[in-house]
């Protein structure tokens, strides 16, 4: 029987010898340390690639007490908004040698806490977006010694980095824009109840209604939950109003697209018979017909910045002051509001 050839496993010592550096330097490279200069980093990576070296993840984790995994907990995983956030997080994490553990928690209480519990010991840090989070929930569930970055959570937790969107300013701007086109009865399709972003967008709409002396009838506030189906149902309700509005602001683009579909089914022309605008400027917004006026948020950048903040915290063990940042919004005018024919 012919002898079975022995496959020699390339070790960290082999890589160090080939790259003419110490074993400690190779270890730093594969642990994403910022103590290795660019030329040395390139030399070690080239040697490892040439020799087919693959770090032993289990052994590395035992030594570093790290998993090189980031936890991401979102209120939902459906739709372009969340996929764009995950895309920004994943691209930034991948560049820094980290993987993602992604989950969702649509409800407060046990489902939320169970999702957090499932991540303990499996992640080095957490990016969290939750409409349910308050300071008491944070204290009870998120004091586990790893860094946390909050996305679009209600204010109150100040002990960790946070990023939010200029929801109030964006909603106020788009409502005033519709008013500037001559609309006096502007309906709003609301976001999910209890959601911080939704509440801030409603507040911005109401500020513009007061400033522009627009109709403030309670019937112009239509329930929604951020889904296309709720936008479609909201449009059905708008069609039944005796004093039908001439314009609609939906608290996100998905609801605006659902409403747009129902209006067209009913034979209404957009924007000639009724104008419509959304919020978030998801990629699909520019491809529906007519193209959707929206409040633009660079959603993937939101994910990128959150990840960069988290990884900086992981590699800066010294205590530092939390950073709280609000990303600006931009009004993007397209044909659905009647102000632009492109």
SS (H, E, C) 22-75: CHHHHHHHHCCCCCCCHHHHHHHHHHHHHHCCCCCHHHHHHHHCCCCEEEEEEC
Q: Provide, rounded to the nearest whole percent, the portion of the chain with pLDDT above 90.
A: 51
Per residue in 114-142, pLDDT tens?
888 788 778 888 999 887 676 676 766 66
C-alpha span between 282 and 286 (Å, rounded): 8
The domains found in the chain, sorted by start residue, are: 12-64 (1.10.260.40), 69-165+299-328 (3.40.50.2300), 167-297+331-337 (3.40.50.2300)
pLDDT for res 63:
47
Helix (H, G, I), strand (E, B) or coil at 257: helix
| pLDDT at 60 exceeding the cut of 70 | no
DSSP state of 102: E
CB contact set of 171 (below 8 Å; sequence gap of 6+): 200, 201, 202, 203, 204, 205, 208, 249, 251, 279, 295
CB contact set of 245 (below 8 Å; sequence gap of 6+): 183, 185, 186, 187, 215, 220, 238, 274
Q: Which range has the worst mean pLDDT, 39-43, 45-49, 116-120, 284-288? A: 116-120
| pLDDT at 263 exceeding the cut of 70 | yes
Half-sphere exposure of 172 (CA within 13 A, CB side): 12
pLDDT for res 58:
46
C-alpha span between 189 and 177 (Å, rounded): 17
| pLDDT at 62 exceeding the cut of 50 | no
Q: Average pLDDT of 325-335?
A: 94
C-alpha span between 229 and 1 (Å, rounded): 68
| pLDDT at 318 exceeding the cut of 70 | no
For residue 93, give the nearest of 116, 64, 117, 126 by alpha carbon. 126
Q: Which range has the worst mean pLDDT, 4-8, 38-42, 260-264? A: 4-8
pLDDT for res 11:
83
| pLDDT at 150 exceeding the cut of 70 | yes
Cα separation values, 289 from 144, 236, 284, 335, Å: 48, 19, 10, 9
The separation between the first and the last C-alpha atoms of the chain, rounded to the nearest angstrom, is 75
- What band does 143 get if pLDDT is binned at 50, 70 and 90? low
C-alpha span between 221 and 187 (Å, rounded): 6
What letters, b where the CB count within 10 A reaches 16 and e where it falls short, cover 66-85?
A: bbbbbbbbbbeeebbbbebb
**Between 335 and 48, whose confidence is greater?**
335
C-alpha span between 33 and 105 (Å, rounded): 33
- What band does 7 get if pLDDT is binned at 50, 70 and 90? very low
- What band does 181 get if pLDDT is binned at 50, 70 and 90? very high
């Amino acid at each position: 029987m012919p002898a079975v050839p022995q496959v020699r496993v390339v070790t960290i010592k082999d890589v160090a010898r080939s790259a003419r550096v110490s074993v400690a330097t190779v270890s730093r490279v594969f642990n994403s340390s910022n103590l290795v200069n660019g030329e040395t980093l390139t030399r070690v990576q080239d040697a490892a690639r040439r020799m087919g070296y693959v770090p032993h993840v289990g052994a590395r984790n035992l030594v570093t007490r790290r998993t090189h995994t980031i936890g991401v907990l979102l209120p939902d995983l459906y739709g372009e908004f969340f996929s764009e956030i995950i895309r920004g997080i994943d691209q930034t994490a991948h560049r820094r040698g980290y993987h993602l553990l992604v989950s969702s928690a649509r409800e407060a209480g046990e489902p939320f806490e169970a999702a957090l519990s499932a991540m303990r010991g499996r992640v080095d840090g957490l990016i969290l977006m939750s409409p349910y989070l308050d300071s008491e929930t944070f204290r009870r569930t998120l004091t586990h010694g790893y860094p946390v970055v909050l996305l679009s959570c209600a204010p109150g937790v100040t002990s960790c980095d946070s990023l939010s969107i200029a929801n109030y300013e964006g909603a106020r701007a788009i409502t005033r824009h519709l008013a500037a086109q001559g609309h006096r009865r502007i309906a709003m399709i609301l976001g999910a109840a209890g959601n911080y972003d939704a509440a801030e967008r409603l507040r911005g709409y109401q500020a513009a209604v007061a400033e522009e002396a627009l109709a403030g009838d309670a019937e112009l506030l239509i329930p929604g939950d951020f889904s296309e189906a709720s936008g479609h149902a909201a449009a059905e309700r708008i069609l039944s109003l005796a004093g039908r509005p001439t314009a609609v602001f939906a608290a996100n683009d998905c609801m605006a697209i659902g409403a747009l579909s129902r209006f067209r089914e009913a034979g209404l022309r957009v924007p000639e018979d009724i104008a419509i605008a959304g919020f978030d400027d998801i990629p699909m917004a520019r491809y529906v017909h007519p193209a959707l006026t929206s409040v633009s948020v660079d959603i993937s950048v939101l994910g990128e910045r959150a990840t960069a903040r988290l990884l900086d915290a992981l590699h800066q063990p010294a205590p530092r002051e939390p950073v709280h940042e609000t990303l600006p919004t931009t009004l993007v005018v397209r044909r659905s509001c009647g102000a632009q024919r492109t």
